[in-house]
Amino acid sequence: MLLLLSPAKKLDYDTPVRTTLHTQPLFADQAAGLIKVLKKKSAAEVADLMKISEALARLNVDRYAAWKPQFDQTNSRQAVLAFNGDVYEGLDAPSLSDAQLKWAQEHLALLSGLYGVLRPLDLMRPYRLEMGTRLETGKGRNLYEYWGSSIAAHLNERLDAMPGAKKARVVLNLASEEYFKSVDLKTLQARVVQCVFQDYKNGAWKVISFHAKRARGLMARHVIENKISAVDALQGFASEGYAYAAAESSVDKLVFRRKQG
């Protein structure tokens, strides 16, 4: 089973990192191609393109200017330890052991607008480039056209390398719709399973964005801690009050619900 997560806008490059385990990003050349395009844009153009403040745009223009396809622990950080949004608070990667991080390295893929796909221990320079950004390049009008089928092809390679891959090629999609759209399903050779997390609010079951994002991270951690490879085993997920809702679920869509007192 291969897990997919979205990246986070919020980054942490200040908290000391416990582990020295790290690898090099696999799509550095493609990232460099995007940086080359971004370096030509002013702060005002970046602010308009990404719908962000001028201050944040200037920060990222400086990042693009300093970006080089060279990654070490003085200028980069392991991706799973650099992202710091709701999903990653649920995952809590800094508390994983080295052994668990090594397992995650083989079973977790972090989708990225700039880096395409990052393994957890891949070193990553700080950046801002969401997958939905309409950045025009020589390959197309947006990042989906830039990455084309390359992300799905990479996921196929990861699945090929897993023990027993021919018996059960499963991708557990814990990514957002924006990022999962970057996976060309015509190229992907796998069964896709999705998890939905609902909370009871105002008399109805609803997907509440903040809680759902955190739950995706909690599910990823559950899989890593238990080295889960079978879809049925996911039903045992019960972190922070969630429980499997069998009646609401289907073969490829697992629903988890909770009522908070």
Q: What is the pLDDT of residues 32-57, one digit of tens each?
A: 999 999 999 999 999 999 999 999 99
The Cβ of residue 245 has, within 10 Å, a number of other Cβ atoms equal to 16
Whether residue 90 is predicted with pLDDT greater than 70 in this model: the reply is yes
What does the DSSP 8-state code read for residue 167?
T
Residue-level pLDDT at 125 = 97
What residues pair up with 118 in beta bridges, in sequence order?
110
Q: What is the pLDDT of residues 97-106, one digit of tens each?
A: 999 999 999 9
Residue-level pLDDT at 2 = 97
Question: What's the rounded Cα separation, in Å, for the pair 157 and 165?
Answer: 10
Q: What is the pLDDT of residues 159-212, one digit of tens each?
A: 999 976 556 799 999 999 999 999 999 999 999 999 999 999 989 999 999 999
Q: How far is CA 50 from CA 17, 28, 38, 53, 194, in A?
A: 30, 22, 11, 9, 28
Residue-level pLDDT at 166 = 58
40 burial (CB, 10 Å; 0-12 / 13-18 / 19+) is exposed
Q: What is the pLDDT of residues 2-14, one digit of tens each?
A: 999 999 999 999 9
H or E element, residue 197? strand 191-201
Residue-level pLDDT at 261 = 54
Residue-level pLDDT at 245 = 98
Residue-level pLDDT at 163 = 79
Query: Is 181 within 8 Å of 169 (Cβ atoms)?
Result: no
Report helix angle 43-50 to 54-66, nearest 10: 110
Question: What's the rounded Cα separation, in Å, for the pair 197 and 234?
Answer: 13
Query: Is 181 within 8 Å of 131 (Cβ atoms)?
Result: yes
Residue-level pLDDT at 260 = 76
What does the DSSP 8-state code read for residue 162?
S
Mean pLDDT on 145-154: 98
Residue-level pLDDT at 164 = 67
Question: What's the rounded Cα separation, in Å, for the pair 241 and 236?
Answer: 12
In 121-203, which ranges are continuous DSSP H helix? 143-147, 150-160, 177-180
Q: What is the pLDDT of residues 202-237, one digit of tens each?
A: 899 999 999 999 999 999 999 999 999 999 999 999
Residue-level pLDDT at 116 = 98
Mean pLDDT on 118-134: 97
In the chain, which ranges are continuous DSSP H helix? 28-38, 43-50, 54-66, 79-82, 86-91, 98-107, 143-147, 150-160, 177-180, 209-226
Q: Average per-residue pLDDT in the chain?
A: 96
| Cα 176-89-101 angle, rounded to 5 deg | 90
| CB within 8 Å of 100: residues ≥ 6 apart | 224, 225
The Cβ of residue 216 has, within 10 Å, a number of other Cβ atoms equal to 26
Sign of CA dihedral 241, 178, 4, 244: positive
